[in-house]
Amino acid sequence: MVLRWCRTFSDGRQQVEDIPRAGRTRTATTDANVGKVDDMIRANRRITIDEVAEELGISHERAQNIIHDILRYRKVSARWVPRQLTSTHQEQRMALSLEHLVRYHEDDNDFLFRIVTGD
């Protein structure tokens, strides 16, 4: 990769930006559509991917990509919820993990048998 860039610049290229390529332009996953999808989900957390796609006139796959990959929402109990943790949640998880680690080092495997987990 580096060798290719060196060769390209030694051949006279002066810009680091990508040269426009042939192919389809992005029309579905634009910033405007991402904003509209986010607004739709915030207004109605029970909206379906098909409803989003139909409302915006985009494919089911593009709507799913925007919701899951770009906005990072996931379905919980038939509602869309953000997947991001707040800094408070991250701190709580870290504190609890460190507490478990200390207990594990003090009690070895006995500690693991006292943990109850569930979905």
CA angle 80, 39, 89 (to 5 degrees): 50
* CA atoms of 69 and 3, how far apart (whole Å): 33
What would the pLDDT profile of 70-91 be if each residue is shown by its tens digit?
Answer: 998 988 777 777 777 778 888 8
What would the pLDDT profile of 96-118 be if each residue is shown by its tens digit?
Answer: 888 888 888 888 777 777 777 66
Q: What is the 3-state secondary structure (H, E, C) of 80-96?
A: EEECCCCHHHHHHHHHH
pTM value is 0.50
Give the CA count within 13 Å in the CB-facing half-sphere of 77.
0
Q: Are 25 and 58 in contact, with CB atoms under 8 Å apart? A: no
Q: Are 115 and 107 in contact, with CB atoms under 8 Å apart? A: no
Question: What single-letter DSSP state applies at residue 74?
Answer: E
